[in-house]
Structures are given as C-alpha cells and as structure tokens.
Chains A and B, each alone.
Chain A
Amino acid sequence: MSKTILTIDDSRTMRDMLMLALSNAGYRVVQAVDGVHGLEVLGAAAPDVIITDINMPRMDGFGVIESVRKDDRHRATPILVLTTESDAAKKERARAAGATGWIVKPFNPEKLVSAIRRVAA
C-alpha cells in the first residue's frame, strides 16, 4: 500500500526533485506550490506525510505547521520541513512550531526516505 506524500515548495526545481525521489521510492506524491495551496489540497490529498519548505510566498512553512496542527482531521499527520541549514536554531524553531522532523537540503533519496520512515507507519 503506497503512502501519499504532500510536498509544499514554491520552487519548481525542488518540487521536481522531491517528486523524482519519492515516486522512485514508491510513494504517491501530491504537490502544492505554497502554504495556502498546500492547505487547500490537504483535505483531498489526505497525505500520510507532509513535506514543506519554510520560505514561501503567501504562507510560509511555519504557517503550514501551525494550521495543520490546529486542524482536528490532520493534526496527527507528520510534517517534515525542508531546511537548507543544519543549524540548531532553525530546527528548534521548526520543532517549536510543531514539526515532526526535518530534512536538510540538499537531500539524497536515502536521507529523504529514511526521514519519512521515521515518521510514517
């Protein structure tokens, strides 16, 4: 049974990279181009995991996390944030906002899949 991953990123490059790595790993992928879009498709996509970028127009990744955690239907959905820095402050902020985990860019497919496995049943 394949899992559905919702990827939220304003960069087409990053969306394509995620799509390539995730679909090769057997996941079903739904894409959104920013936070607002991500929340719009959340209900229909019913993802098992959300992967979101932080810096995005309209609504950033912190906004996404906050909204998902407030939503009774989706609050238990794991959220992985994409971050370019491995620095502790950024991770801490994501964690404080309610992120389940994080993926440091640039990622390789193994890292990506391993991060998903640590949050998804």
Chain B
Amino acid sequence: MDPLASIKITFFQECEEQLAELETGLLTMKDGETDPETVNAVFRAVHSIKGGAGAFSLTELVRFAHVFETVLDEMRAGRLAPDGRILDVMLRAADVLADLVRAARDGGTVDEDRCQALIAELGALTGVQEAAVDDGFLDLDFAPITVSVDVGEEPEPAAAAGLEMAEGAPAAEKLVVAFRPRAALYAKANEPAVLLRELASLGRAEITLDASSLPQLDELEPEAAYLHWVATVETDDEAAIREVFDFVEGDCELSIARVPDDCEPVAARQPPVDEAETAGELDIKALIARATGGATQTAAAAQAAPAAQVISLRDHPARAPDMSARKEDGHAVAAASPTIRVDLERVDRLIDLVGELVINQAMLAQRVLESGLARSSGIAVGLDDLELLTREIQDSVMAIRAQPVKSVFQRMPRLVREVAHATGKQVRLVVEGEGTEVDKTVIERLTDPITHMIRNAIDHGLEPPERRIEVGKPAEGVVRLSALHRSGRIVIEVADDGGGINRTRVRQIAVDKGLISPDANLSDEETDNLIFMPGFSTAETISDISGRGVGMDVVRRSIQALGGRISIASRPGQGSTFTLSLPLTLAVLDGMVVSVGGQTFVLPITTVMETLQPKPTEVRRLEGSVPLLLVRDRYVPILDVGHRLGYRAGPIEPTEGVVLLVEGEDGRSAALLVESILGQRQVVIKSLEANYQRVPGIAAATILGDGRVALILDVDAVISGPTSEPALAETRLLAAG
C-alpha cells in the first residue's frame, strides 16, 4: 500500500481514539473534575486531530479543530472557566468534530450550517472573530502541500549539491555576511560549522574566520563564544540567507550587506582559508577543529551505524519489556499490557480448531467410557486432565475475541445529548462497567438494541422537566447504563428514574390493538411485558426518536437471536429498568440434550426454565387445541416437538415423555414435550446455514461426543408456530439424511 495512504488510515484510527478521549474528558469535566491533566488531555486530542488533518490537507477539519482548540487553549490557560454551559457547547463541538472526521474518512458532507453555528458559538466563548482566525490560519500554515518524498538521491544530507550548482552559475551578485555567534547559540546546540556549510550551499562562497578575540588558553572560558566569521556569498537571495540563520536569530550578531560584483571581499585580518571550490564541509570542520575555543561538541561522533536503516527501539530485545509497558497510543498507562493487532480471520480459524478439539476430546472420552475401562485407569485419568486443559484452551481462545463493551457504551453519551435536545428533556447518563468484556460478535450486535432502549428510556421513560419538578424530582433525569458479568453471562441494564410504565395505558393500548382480550387478567409483570409484543408502540405519535414502527419487540427479538433474554422491572413514579442477559460468546452453548423421534436435539439451557414429568391429573384437553399442562395454577400449552417437526404423524401422550418448560418471545411460556432428556453439556455451535441451508425450527447444529450431528432447536420458532399443525416437515428429511 502507498505509505501515505496507510498513514492516513492510522490517522483516522487515531482520530477515533482522540474523539473518545475528548468526549470522556469533557464529560469528566462536566462532572466537576477539572484537574489540569484532564484539560490537557482534551486539548491534546483536538490538537492532534488538527495536526494530522493539516498533514492531509483536510481544510474543513483543520478549520473547525483550530477554532475548537483556541477555546480549549483559553481554558487550559485558566482564562475560561469550564462551566456547564461552556461544556455543553464543547460537547456539541466534539460531535461536529466527529462528524467532520468521518466525513473526511468516508466521503460525504457535514451539515455546513451546524458547523458554522458551532464555530460562531465557540468563537463567542473567547471573543475571537471566527473569520479572522480561520482565514489567517489557513493562509499561514495550511496551504495544501504535495508530499513527495523522493529524497533518495540525497542519502547523505550534505551540501555538495548546492555547491555544484553554484559552480556552473554565472557570476552573480555577492552578499557579505558577518556572523558573530553568542554563547547562547552554542548552548542551544547550534553549530556554526553547519550553518556556514548551509550558507555555502547557496552559492560560491568565501568564508573567513576571525579568531582575534580568542584569548590565551589559561583565560579561555570553555563555554564562551570567541569566534566570528565573514562570508562572501555569490547570491542575491537575502531571504535564503536569513532562512539559514533563522534558528539562531537573536543568539548571534548577523549582518548582511551587498557588495558590487567586481569588488574585493571585505578585508579580513587573515587570508581566506578556502576557495569556494573546495569549501566543502570537511574544510570548515577542520577549521573549527583548529579553533578549539568553541564549546561546541557535535554529537555526531557516534555515527558508526550501518547505512540507511530504519529501526525502532521496540525491536531491541533488551529493551522490550519496559517498552512494552507502554501503550502504543500514548495513553501511557504504566499498567497497560502490550497488545498486538491480529487479523480476525486467524482468531476465528483458531476458535474453529479449538471447537474441533473439544468435539474430538468428547468423542475420545465417550469411546473410553464405552470400552469399559476403569475410572481409575491411567487412560481415564489422563483424559480427565485433557478435558480440563481443553476447557481452559477454549476459555483462553474465547478471551481473545472478548472486548470491553466500552466501544458500544461510548457512543451513547452523544445519543443521549441528541435525544435530550430533541425532546427538550434534561438527561444525565451514568455509565458503569464499560470494561466488562464480551465476545466481539455479541458486541457488534448490541449497539442497536442498546441504542433503542436508551432512546426509549428518554423518550418514554423520563418525564418532561416541569412534570418532574411537580412530583418533587430534580429536573434532570438520570439514565443509567451498566454492564456486569453474572454466572457466565453478561448482564446489561438500562434504567431510568422516570415515571415507570403507565400500566393502565399499556393495557388500554394492548386491548385497542387487539393484542389481548379486554377481560384478560394480567399481573403487573405481564402488563409490563406487553410492550414487547409485536405491533405494540406506546408513542401516541410516531416520533423520530424512538424509531418508526420499530418497537421493543424488535429489541427483544434481536436479543433473543443472540441467545439472550430481556426483562423489565418497573415501579410507578420511580422508573423502569430493562435488563439484558446475554451469553458471553456465540460460539459455544450450554445445552440440554434431548431425544425426539429417535433423533438427538439440543436446547439452549437458558431457554429452559424447568423440566418435569407430567402426571395425568395435570394435563387438560380442550377441543381443537393442543393439550394444556397445569403448572402452579397456570395453564401452558404442551407442544410435542417430534410431532411439530414432522418426525411423527401424531403427538405422543404427554405422560409418556418429559416436558421442558420454556419461555419464548413475548414472554409466552410453553411446555415442550420430548421423549427423554439425555444430559446437559457444552456444545460447539456450527452454522447450519453456512453448511446446508436455513431450516425452520432449527437454529444451528453441533457435533456430539459420539460423532453424530445434533440439531439445536430454535425454541422461539417452535413455540410461535401454529398451535395445531406440524408445519416444519422439512426437518425430517435433513435429520434422516
């Protein structure tokens, strides 16, 4: 890849990090923590974005970042107090900056008015005229540059080229340069020899040393400046000469005067040391070497390294441990461990292989068991160890894919600001547990549900500020987003301190929409769960905020597609809490292995609430419907899995099998009837779609310890199908074949 293009990719990656840093910093400041390091970090974030953007001539981005940076600089200098109002402007500016970065990266445009409005707002904070700032700035520094790096012909950056050119040039106007360094020039590691060499590269030059001020050795101050030079250079470019001495201006006396063409150089007390033809750097160096009074010591002595070679100390083994104790992106946290970037495909391949290993190990264990070897035999004991190891390898490999939910959580503050702005509500977002890790695939699919739940919490959950004050709450509502690990799953909660679910209204809507019958007898919990029913939307007018026709049912479905559950707890006047519980990985599953129609099936154990053997007295039959099972004073339909999947022509007697009480979409329970339960085990999920095709009622497949393929039931599909006909006959063909 073109090296510049790849740097550009790095730049945008870095921008994302800086943007996250910026937002975090601003939010921390909003919480009242304004220690200088936070302010500095925020400033640096914007400063770095600007610097990089300048290098790639992203003028829009530079312009905005510059105005932003100016305000932050004021704040950093303590001239601008970071109060809530100012921080709000800055947070919105951070959003625009993020938009500009993404527009620059992905193409597309940014709302110019919004951009201008914020530039004006930011400008107002410092009283700086916006136009003056950006025009001046752009003129000065950010004219687009062409970055051609074809400097290969000058491997040794010496002055030779300049001298040769001068030789061929016709006799030009001459300038006389008198140069008298002061001690400060040496103290800053400037080197007259180098400057004179550069001067000589401008044109044919005669350089004369004046060492008359040099004292006797016993009076010599090692760090004082005693030497000066007079140079006659064949050039008329005074600006170029000034540029050579740009760095030392102020640390030397410098005069530049014109002399007529044919005039002798200014008289010197010593004869010219060098003719221009030979005035290479070596001679000047020799001169310096002779004039030992200078305190200059060029550090060039240690240049014994081989030819042009780019190294990074990172490669140096001896330094490796302490180098790696630092995070690449400059966060510089002492405790951070080293990281590598690995192609995701390689990790997935590894995970696949470990999956095979787990299966293989299970098969081996089963064979040993079947062979009737004693549990205490060496082979059996060795196998137990192998099982432990395999499990450990599997966990470790899964951990590679695990990532903190931070990447999802950190998008939420912006969402909250936008929704709060659009609804006119005051909202504070509290985020907890953003370091909680979960599989990358899960993370990718969490954004939409969480986004929706947070919108919902602000739009429907929180009351308007006036209303909140009326009921004695602070005008600012709180939405809490948290994540934690609980028994092998990740639990994500979205809680608001709003009015809670208005059950009367929810019930009314459900009745109006024909979702429940008007005389349905529902508990509070069941009423709350109505909001997850397809087609239910409590918004009286469809708003932009909570989406268009997309309700909580979609959220519920996408969570369930991940093998998760969603539940709601609501207290009138105190708010609602939505709780998501998700498996940490999509690659393995704790399953219950059952036998159906002579075939082996696996159910995700998370869907199974209870297993029982029905007694004849607990089964009720109604005309034209499936039998019902009485469980703790409630009736749930008994669904014969074998019959529904088409393995059997008719259902078996419920009392002959075992029922698994499951809960599916919309909170509905069902009793799944199977022939027997074979056990419980962790299985590796294999996609059926990738290897065969999608099969109704089946979520995926797995390979059992005995080497046979078992299908994993899609519980929701099984229980939400029609309650009378076995409609999923295709499965039989597959399982039989």
Contact = CB atoms under 8 A, between A and B. Distances in A.
Interface of A: 1-4, 10-14, 16-17, 19-21, 23-34, 36-37, 40-41, 44-48, 55-58, 69, 74-79, 84-86, 95, 98-102, 104-106, 108-110, 113, 116-121
24 contacts: A2-B155, A2-B305, A3-B157, A12-B10, A12-B14, A13-B51, A13-B55, A14-B51, A14-B52, A16-B6, A25-B149, A31-B312, A37-B326, A44-B319, A48-B303, A57-B331, A69-B188, A78-B299, A84-B47, A85-B141, A100-B189, A100-B247, A106-B145, A120-B191
A20 B6 CA distance: 11
B308 A27 contact: yes
Interface stretch (B36-44, B521-529, B621-629, B678-686): B36-44
Interface in B285-313: 285, 296-300, 302-313
B194 A118 contact: yes
Contacts of A36: 332
B40 to A, nearest CB: 7
B536 interface: no
A101 B307 CA distance: 26
Contacts of B154: 25-26, 113
A25 B141 contact: no
B737 interface: no
Contacts of B475: none
Given A17-B7, A76-B189, A86 B281 contact: no
B461 interface: no
B372 interface: no
Contacts of A78: 189-191, 299
Contacts of A33: 326, 328, 330, 332
Contacts of A76: 189, 296-299
B147 interface: yes
Interface of B: 3-4, 6-7, 10-11, 13-14, 37, 40-41, 43-44, 47-48, 50-52, 54-55, 57, 140-142, 145-152, 154-157, 159, 187-191, 193-195, 198, 244, 246-247, 250-251, 281, 285, 296-300, 302-314, 316, 319, 322, 326, 328-332
B54 A105 contact: yes
Given A76-B189, A108-B147, A118-B194, A84 B54 contact: yes
A21 B149 contact: yes
Contacts of A108: 145-147
Nearest to A21: B149
B332 A105 contact: no
Contacts of A105: 51, 54-55, 141
Nearest to A73: B299
Nearest to B185: A100
A79 B260 CA distance: 38
Nearest to B53: A106
Contacts of B145: 106, 108
Contacts, number: 220
Contacts of B250: 95
Given A20-B3, A84-B141, A2 B332 contact: no
A101 B247 contact: yes
A56 B299 contact: no
Contacts of B331: 57
A19 B145 CA distance: 18
Contacts of B37: 57
A25 B150 CA distance: 8
Contacts of A3: 157, 300, 303
Contacts of B48: 10-11, 13-14, 55
Name the residue among B43, B311, B329 with the largest chain A CB count within 10 angstroms.
B311
B251 to A, nearest CB: 8
Given A11-B14, A55-B47, A84-B50, 8 more contacts: A12-B14, A16-B10, A19-B310, A24-B149, A76-B296, A100-B247, A106-B141, A109-B147
Given A44-B316, A113-B157, A13 B247 contact: no
A13 B7 contact: yes
Contacts of A29: 310-312
A119 B308 CA distance: 19
Contacts of A28: 305, 308-311
Nearest to A59: B332
A74 B298 CA distance: 10
A95 B188 contact: yes
A69 B331 CA distance: 26
Nearest to B245: A118
A121 to B, nearest CB: 5
Contact of B328 (A12, A27, A120): A12
B308 A2 contact: yes
Contacts of B188: 69, 79, 95, 98-100
Contact of B198 (A14, A20, A106, A118): A118
A121 B296 CA distance: 11
A109 B314 CA distance: 24
Name the residue among A10, A13, A108, A116 with the largest chain B CB count within 10 angstroms.
A13
* The 9 A-B residue pairs with the shortest CB-CB distance in the complex, in nearest-first order: A10-B330, A101-B247, A26-B155, A13-B11, A106-B54, A13-B52, A23-B310, A106-B55, A24-B149
Given A57-B44, A118-B247, A75 B189 contact: yes
Contacts of B151: 21, 24-26, 109-110, 113
A116 B198 CA distance: 11
B332 A57 contact: yes
A86 B141 contact: yes
Contacts of A14: 48, 51-52, 55
Contact of B10 (A13, A79, A95, A113): A13
A57 B145 CA distance: 29
A84 B299 CA distance: 27
